Structure 1
Amino acid sequence: MRKCSILLLCSLVLFACSKKDSPSNGGTKPPPTTMDSVGKKGTDFSTNTANGTWYGNVTTLKSHWFYTWGTTLPFELAPSHTEFVSMFWGSGNVTDDNIAYVKARKAEGKVKYVIGFNEPDLPDQANMTADQALALWPKLESLDLPLGSPACSWPTVNWFTEFMQKAKAQGRRVDFICVHMYVGTDDQNFMQVLQTLYNTYKLPIWVTEFATCANDAKSMADNPYTPATVLSFMQRLLPQLEAAPYVQRYAWFSGDPASARLWSSALVSANGQLTDLGKWYADYKPNNNAGK
């Protein structure tokens, strides 16, 4: 389960940050020339999800792309006409075997993008320092695939700023920025955060986890966000993500339907059927060829 961020303070920190004047992907060599050719809308489900199946959910949500927080994938189960994005979740995933695996899947045309570490700023997630992440980064660069940054618990935590500054100083390559944003229902602030992030780094953005989250809820009854409220937020926000040229991809985080903080953000119910929120997500900018 992902942890929700304390958003108001982080938003204030974001707008207090100084704007950088020049774009940089952090490195001295140009990024690979692979260009995005699929729709922006994606999904993220663990291969061990208890709500439906990961491959069934990718299909029913009509996703253009997906990831599982894993580096490898049982491709025999992967829905056709969808794109898997490989992720190096933490330091333990950066092995010679995994590097060779991704290179082989790249040669087969099955992996076209790679994303970096998962919430390394949190002790119960990847739990790495920026220096530890950067020490492993050349191995990810060696894949010669477009490479996404680590995704922190909020886009402007000190960890991420340190990583990006040191990546630039060390000549490391970062081709796009991955962000996690657990918020309320303020779509305008959501987009302001992304715009400021883009203004700072001048790199494409992938919103790889986002949802409405009641951080302080101790029970489902404590959660002030109803499914109808979350649906309204999604209906306002997604068209803005589609319209923003700097947003390359996004993937809503489907909360556990039994989670006090995230139940109303669930796309898939406990029986594997789509919720009303999931039905709308599926029908918005659909990949009608998913799984066909």
Structure 2
Amino acid sequence: MAYDLASPTDLSALSSGVSWWYNWSPSPNAAVPTDYATRYGMVFYPMLWNGSFNAADIVTYLKANPTIQYMLVLNEPNLVSQSNMTPQQAAQLWPQYEAIAAQTGVKIVGPAITWGTMTNYEDPVAWLDAFYAAYEAANSNRAPQIDYLAFHWYDYGLDAQLDRLTKYGKPFWVTEFANWHSQNDGAQIDTLAKQEAQMTDMVATCESRTDVFRYAWFTGRVSPDPHFSSLLGATGVLTDLGTLYLSLPMQ
């Protein structure tokens, strides 16, 4: 799941059906018990949200936690309210991610692409095409190290969106998803039952595709919650949606 888990009781409540989480930062919340992996059977994956990180500290952390095999990078670069990074800027940054991976053996998961708000790069394919071109031009035609491509989606049609990205030949992590369709067109998600149906469908899509390696529902707890997407209510208590999420089949 995509959420800054902090409460041991939240972790315990989720542990029967959630195998991993991330919180958009390089380390777990300080309130998470240090033995979380053995206590809850859940893995934390760090994220380098943009270029603001100390590479030496990240390498030290990853070497001290060798069970962490994946590193998420670059959150929604074509959203100006998120990491807000042009393809050319991301191409300049990417070798820093690759250097950390080379020193630690972790796999690179990202960029976490979506439909965005950046002029000329609203379409994730347009952003990725330009990113590949800029990186290859600066690196003797070598393609960037992308071990897994991340994607975020909040509407109908997840399967078709992933199909558009198969051209890059990468397995996927769907690192944020829910259905927040809000247009007043009869298809808006405005009841728990509608979100439950969408969760069931979207999880089935992820589970049925051989190119989806990991996925993470967004979110744990949010208020207000007009689309009924919170997995947690009171501390340590699952919502009805959370109970459904834990019950859905997973491989």
TM-score normalised to structure 2 length: 0.78
* Count, aligned residues: 228
Alignment equivalent of 1:247, drawn from 201, 212, 235: 212
- Residue 63 of structure 2 is matched in structure 1 by 103
TM-score normalised to structure 1 length: 0.68
Alignment equivalent of 1:179, drawn from 148, 151, 175: 151
Alignment equivalent of 1:148, drawn from 82, 87, 109: 109
1: CA distance, partners of 2:24 / 2:246: 21
2:152 is the alignment partner of 1:212 = no
- Residue 90 of structure 2 is matched in structure 1 by 133
2:238 is the alignment partner of 1:274 = yes
Amino acid at match of 2:128: F
Moved more, 85-94 or 157-166: 157-166
- Residue 73 of structure 2 is matched in structure 1 by 116
2:193 is the alignment partner of 1:228 = yes
Task: Find the residue that maps to 1:235 and give its secondary structure.
Answer: helix
Alignment equivalent of 1:166, drawn from 109, 123, 134: 134
Amino acid at match of 1:246: D
Native 8 Å contact 2:45 2:72 kept in 1: yes
After TM superposition, give the deviation of residue 137 of structure 1 in Å. Answer: 1.6
- Residue 59 of structure 1 is matched in structure 2 by 15
Task: Describe the shift of the 1:78–1:68 C-alpha distance in structure 2 as closer, same or farther (beyond 3 A).
Answer: farther
1: CA distance, partners of 2:21 / 2:220: 16
Greater RCO between the two (CA within 8 Å, min separation 6)? Answer: 1
After TM superposition, give the deviation of residue 210 of structure 1 in Å. Answer: 0.5
- Residue 196 of structure 1 is matched in structure 2 by 164
Task: Describe the shift of the 1:165–1:205 C-alpha distance in structure 2 as closer, same or farther (beyond 3 A).
Answer: farther
2: CA distance, partners of 1:196 / 1:153: 12
How large is the RMSD of aligned CA atoms in angstroms? Answer: 2.7
Native 8 Å contact 1:55 1:77 kept in 2: no
After TM superposition, give the deviation of residue 102 of structure 1 in Å. Answer: 2.1
- Residue 90 of structure 1 is matched in structure 2 by 50
After TM superposition, give the deviation of residue 110 of structure 1 in Å. Answer: 2.4
1: CA distance, partners of 2:238 / 2:60: 37
> How high is the sequence identity, in percent, across the aligned residues?
29
After TM superposition, give the deviation of residue 284 of structure 1 in Å. Answer: 1.8
After TM superposition, give the deviation of residue 275 of structure 1 in Å. Answer: 1.1
After TM superposition, give the deviation of residue 173 of structure 1 in Å. Answer: 1.0
After TM superposition, give the deviation of residue 253 of structure 1 in Å. Answer: 0.4
Deviations 1:87-139 (A, max 9, x none): 1012112533223322332xxx2210111111122233222222222222222
After TM superposition, give the deviation of residue 66 of structure 1 in Å. Answer: 1.6
Give runs of aligned pairs for residues 16-31 of structure 1, distance below 5 A: none
After TM superposition, give the deviation of residue 230 of structure 1 in Å. Answer: 0.9
Amino acid at match of 2:111: P
Deviations 1:184-232 (A, max 9, x none): xx3xx2211112211x111101100001114569xxxxx6421101111
1: CA distance, partners of 2:69 / 2:108: 10
Native 8 Å contact 1:255 1:266 kept in 2: yes
Task: Find the residue that maps to 1:125 and give its secondary structure.
Answer: coil
Task: Describe the shift of the 1:168–1:283 C-alpha distance in structure 2 as closer, same or farther (beyond 3 A).
Answer: farther
2: CA distance, partners of 1:125 / 1:257: 18
Alignment equivalent of 2:2, drawn from 39, 44, 48: 44
Native 8 Å contact 1:84 1:110 kept in 2: no
